[in-house]
Structure 1
Amino acid sequence: MTSIVVCFGEILLRMSPALEGHWLQDARMPVFVGGAEANVACALASWNQPVAYCTAMPDNYLSRDMAAWLEGRGVDTSPVLWTGQRVGAYYLPQGSDLQHAGVIYDRAGSAFAGLAAGAIDWDLVLQDAGWFHFSAISPALTPSVAALCREGLEAATRKGLSISVDLNYRSKLWQYGVSPVSVMPSLVEYCDVVMGNLWAAESLLGIPVDKDVHQQGSKQRYLDHSRSTSEAILARYPRCRRVAHTFRFEKVSEGLHYYATLFSRDGGLHVSREFRTDAVVDKVGSGDCFMGGLIYGGVQGWDPQRTIDYAAAAAIGKLQEKGDSTRQTVAQVLQTIQQHA
C-alpha cells in the first residue's frame, strides 16, 4: 500500500477583493479555500498521492462545506479536529502577492490558533503515514501551536516518517514576543527536506544572506548563494537530506522567470530548467505547489534532477490557475517540462 502524506496546518478562507472598492460597488468578493499545507495536500491529491490533512475547525455548516470541498479534491479530512469558534481568514487584493503589504490577516482566536500540546492524538493521525509536512506559518501563530508542532515532529520521528518543512516567513504573524530564530531552528532539526528561499533561511534560521546579492543580479550569483546556504543548513542539521530554493523574477518587458535548486547531501546542487510565462492569473499558492512537487518526487523515489524539474514546472503552472491550490495533473506538469526543454 502507498504510504500516506499527512499535512498539518491551519485551514483558511481567502477573501479576494477587487481593487479601488469595486468589491463594494459590485457586492461581490471571490472566496477561496486556502492555507499553505492545505494547498500542498490538494496538489498531492491531484497527482493521485494519498494525502490526509490535519487541522482544526469549528463544527458548523461553513466548516463542513470546506471539509467537503477538500474531500471532493481527494484529500482525507478524517484527522480534522472539530473544535473552537471560528475559521481563520485573510484578505488579499486581486493580483497581489502574499509577500507584499496588501495582505490582511484575520486569524487571531481561530480554532487552529487555539490548539495546544496534547490536543491531537498523533499516533492515530500518523498511523498509516510515511511522510509528515508542516510549515513555518504554524509556529508563528502562538507558542502553544509551536509546542504542538514539536509534539507532532517528535511523534513522526518515532514512527520513522520522512519530514518536510516549508520555511514560509510571514512577518505579520510573528506577534507573540519572540524571534523566529528562537523557535524554528529546533523544529528544523527534525526535518529531512527543507524548502524556502534565501531570505527565509536568514529570517527563520539565522543563516546570513549577502546583502549585495540583488545588486549582483546574475543567475550564477544566486546559484552560488543557494549552494552556500544549502551547505550551511546541511552542516547545522545532520538529519536534513535535501534543501530546495526557489527564484522568481518578474519584469514587465520579459514576463516572469522561475527556476529552482535542490541541493542533495549525497549529490550536490541540481538546478531546474528555467521556466517563463506572461500569463500570471493568480500569484497565491505557487510555492505550496512547488513544495507538493518536492514531496511527490520524494515519495516516488525520483532522483534530485527529476524532482526539482517537476516541482518547478508545477509551480509555474499554478501561476496560471485561479485560487489557492492547483488542479494540474501529472501529465500536465510533465507537458510543461517538455515545453521548456
Structure 2
Amino acid sequence: MKNTLSIKPSDQCHFDLVSLGEVMIRLDPGATRIRTARQFQVWEGGGEYNVARGLRRCFGMRTALVSAFADNEIGRLAEDLILQGGVDMSFVKWMPYDGLGRTIRNGLNFTERGYGIRGAVGCPDRGLTAASQLKPGDIDWDHLFGKLGVRWFHTGGIYAALSDTTPEVVIEAVQFAKKHGTIVSYDLNYRPSLWNGIGGHAKAQQVNREIAKSVDVMIGNEEDFTACLGLEVEGVGENLSNIDVDKFKQMIDRAVTEFPNFLVTGTTLRKVHSATINDWSAIVWSDGIFYQSQAFEKLEIFDRVGGGDSFASGLIYGFLTTGDPSQAVNYGAAHGALAMTTPGDTTMANLSEVEKVMSGAGARVVR
C-alpha cells in the first residue's frame, strides 16, 4: 500500500535529506569503563546527524548536515570523520575558537557500551558548544530548501533542547522546509537532563508542540510522546516492549487526531534482557493503518547507541524509494538491528546486508 507522503522527485533536488543537529566526538573505552580507561576509540555521532550519515553510507543517498563547530583541532577532527562518512558540510558554520573554550567549544561524549547486567553509560560534555549557539537567521533556509532543493529534512528533540536559541532554530527550519514542500521528520528523543537546563518539562512540551505543527513524520516512543506532546494512555509504561501494543496504538490515534498534519509516526520496540541481548522490532502508523516489522528476538547487541537513528534512516530510505510503509518499517528495523552489531554511533552496514536481513537470511559466512 502506498502512503500519503508527497515527496519531491530526486531530479528536482540537490539533496535527498538534510539533517540539523549537533555532532560530538564520541570517546569509547571499548570493553572497559570510562573511569578506568587508559585509551579511547574515537567516533563521531549525534542523533540527527546519524540519520544523514546512515542514509549516505548504507543507502547511497545524497545528504547534508546543518550544524556548527568551533574552529580548532577537535572541530577539524569532527570534520574529517564526517567527510569520511560522505555527508556534505556546505551548511556547517565555523565559529572562531577563543583559545580556551570559555565561550565556545566542541562537544565530547564519553560512552560505555555496556555488557550483560551492566548497562550502557553516556557522559556528555557539551556545554557552550558551537552548534548550541546557532540562532535564527544564521542559515539561509530559502537557499537550501528553495534554490537547491531538499526532498526530506530531519531534526529532533536533542538539538531543540541544547540552548535557549536552538528551539527557535528548529522552528524556523521546519517552517521553511514546509514552505518549500520538503518532507519534515522529527525524532522527539526526550532527554530530561537537557530540558532541565532551559525550562524543564513545561518548556519541552511548549517547544515540541509548536514544532509538531510542521512535522509530517513523527518518531518517538511512549515516553517521548507523553513528555514532549502531553499524550498519555493508561497502562503504558516506559518499556514499550512490555506493554500491550494496542495501548500504544491508542496513543498514536490520539496524536494524529490532535496533530492531523502527522502523515506517518514510528517507533522502535525494545525489550532489554541484558545490555547485550535485546528483543527488537518497530511499528509504523501511516494513513490510518499500523505496520509492524519483522521481530528480532534475542538480538545480540555489540553497541546499542545509534540503533534508533539507524531505524530512522532505514525508514526514510524505504519511503524515499518505495513509498510503502510496510517496506519502510522493515528497512528501518533491519538497519537498526545491523547497526547495533558494530561499534560507534553510526552504521557500518550496506544496502545488500540490510535487504539480506529483511529477506530472512541468517548469519552464515559469506565467501
Give the TM-score normalised by the residue count of structure 1.
Answer: 0.91
Q: Deviations over 1:98-129 (max 9, x none)?
A: xx794222111000111111111112233321
Selected match of 2:247 from 211, 222, 225: 225
Q: Which of 219, 226, 229 in structure 2 is aligned with 1:205?
A: 229
Secondary structure of 1:104's partner?
strand
Decide whether aligned partners of structure 1 residues 60 and 42 sit closer, same or farther in structure 2, where only a CA change above 3 A counts. Answer: same
* Residue in 2 that maps onto 1:247: 269
In the other structure, the counterpart of 1:154 is 175
Kindly indicate whether residue 164 of structure 2 is the aligned counterpart of residue 143 of structure 1.
yes
> How many residue pairs are counted as aligned between the two chains?
333
1:236 to 242, 258, 263: 258
Q: Which moved more, 1:82-91 or 1:115-124?
A: 82-91
Deviation at 1:61, TM superposition (A): 3.1
Structure 1 residues 83 and 270, CA, compared in 2 at 3 Å: closer, same or farther? same
Distance 1:214 1:65, change over 3 A: closer
Partner residue, 1:116: 135
Does structure 1 retain, via aligned residues, the 8 Å contact 2:184–2:216?
yes
- The 1:193–1:64 alpha-carbon spacing in structure 2 relative to 1, beyond 3 Å, is same
Cα offset for 1:327?
1.9
SS of the residue corresponding to residue 120 of structure 1 reads coil
Read off the aligned partner of 2:305 and give its amino acid letter: V
The CA deviation string for residues 233-254 of structure 1, in whole angstroms up to 9 with x for no partner, is 1111121101112111122599
Q: Letter of the aligned partner of 1:41 in structure 2?
A: A
User: Contact conserved, 1:96 with 1:283, CA < 8 A, in 2?
Assistant: no
Asked if 1 retains the 8 angstrom alpha-carbon contact of 2:107 and 2:129, the reply is: yes
- Indicate which of 313, 321, 333 corresponds to 1:292: 313
Q: 1:143 to 1:331 in 2, by over 3 A?
A: same
Contact 2:217 2:263 in 1 (8 A): yes
Distance between the aligned counterparts of 2:259 and 2:224, measured in 1? 16
Instruction: State the one-letter code of the partner of 1:154.
Output: Q
Q: Encode CA deviations 1:135-172: one digit per residue, 9 max, x unaligned.
A: 11111112211011111111111111000001101111
Give yes or no for the alignment of 1:95 onto 2:114.
yes
Residue type at the aligned position of 1:128:
G
Q: Distance in 1 between matches of 2:291 and 2:351?
A: 21
1:287 positional shift: 0.3
1:182 aligns with 2:203: no
Residue 290 of structure 1: how far off its partner (Å): 0.5
Equivalent runs, 1:13-32 vs 2, <5 Å:
13-17=25-29, 18-19=32-33, 21-23=35-37, 27-32=38-43
* Cα pair distance change 1:246/1:13, threshold 3 Å: same
Residues 117, 279 of structure 1: alpha-carbon distance in 2 compared, 3 angstrom cutoff: same
Q: Identity rate of aligned residues, in percent?
A: 27
Between stretches 118-127 and 190-199, larger displacement belongs to: 118-127
For 2:299 and 2:328, how far apart are their aligned partners in 1?
Answer: 24
Contact 1:273–1:340 at 8 Å: present in 2 too? no
Between the aligned partners of 2:154 and 2:241, the Cα distance in structure 1 is: 32
Residues 2, 28 of structure 1: alpha-carbon distance in 2 compared, 3 angstrom cutoff: farther
Match of 2:353 in 1: 332
Please, which runs of 5 or more residues in structure 1 have no aligned partner? none
Contact 1:2 1:50 in 2 (8 A): no
Q: Matches of 2:238 and 2:315 in 1, distance apart?
A: 26
Residue identity matched to 2:91: P
Retained in 1: the 8 A contact 2:52–2:313?
yes
Q: Secondary structure at the match of 2:355?
A: helix
Question: Matched residue of 1:110: which SS?
Answer: coil
Counterpart contact for 1:55–1:79, Cα < 8 Å = yes
- 1:51-90 aligned at under 5 Å gives the runs 51-83=63-95, 85-90=104-109
Q: Is the 8 A contact 2:54 2:313 kept in 1?
A: yes
**SS state of the match for residue 53, structure 1?**
strand
Are 2:48 and 1:44 equivalent residues in the alignment?
no
- Structure 1's 8 and 234: CA in aligned 2 closer, same or farther, altered over 3 A? same
Distance across 2 between alignment mates of 1:227 and 1:94: 31
Cα 1:119–1:317 change in 2 (3 A) is same
- Of stretches 1-10 and 133-142 in structure 1, the one that deviates more from structure 2 is 1-10
Tell me: CA distance 1:257–1:168, structure 2 relative to 1, closer, same or farther (3 Å). Answer: same
- Say if 1:161 and 1:305 are closer, same or farther in 2 by CA, change over 3 A: same
Instruction: State how 1:299-318 maps to structure 2 within 5 Å.
Output: 299-318=320-339
Quick one: structure 1 residues 87 and 49, their matched pair in 2 at CA, closer, same or farther if it must change by over 3 Å? same
Structure 1 vs Structure 2 CA RMSD:
2.4
Q: Which runs of 5+ in 2 are unaligned?
A: 1-10, 97-103, 363-367
Amino acid at match of 1:326: T
